[in-house]
Structure 1
Amino acid sequence: MEYQSNNTTLQSDDTVSTTVIDWDEFRKHAKVGDTIRESSRTLRIYDKAYELTASGQHFVVHIYAQ
């Protein structure tokens, strides 16, 4: 999947499909190998890790990209 942070409208054509989502949804759906395109750079997600909070009732999702 490809994410574009500089796009505010949904677009689709024969070869590229762009989806605009909020950060919470991004953390849920992002997968290793996905591409993040910004106006000045393109990043690829290389790791995704889950960490429990100190209370043990919630978790934090870490997304690593370069």
Structure 2
Amino acid sequence: MEYQIYGNTVRSADAISTTVIDWDDFRKFAKVGDTIREPSRTLTITEKVYESTASGQNFVIHIYAQ
């Protein structure tokens, strides 16, 4: 899956379709190996880590990309 988020301006390049989602959905649906295309760079998600909150009732998702 490819995510392209440019704030209020979203553009498709060539035949690539653009998907705009909020950060909560991004953290849920992003998978290791997905790419993130920004106007100045392309990142690949290398790791997705789930961390329990101090209360243990919720969790935080950390996305690492390079």
TM-score normalised over the length of structure 1? 0.85
Q: Which runs of 4+ in 1 moved over 4 A?
A: 7-11
More strand by share: 1
TM-score normalised over the length of structure 2? 0.85
Amino acid at match of 2:16: V
Whether the 8 Å contact between 1:52 and 1:59 is mirrored in structure 2 is: yes
Whether the 8 Å contact between 1:10 and 1:19 is mirrored in structure 2 is: no
RMSD after superposition: 1.9
Question: Across the two proteins, how many residue pairs are aligned to each other?
Answer: 64
| Percent of pairs with identical residues | 72
- SS at the partner of 2:57? coil
For structure 1, the 5+ residue unaligned runs are none
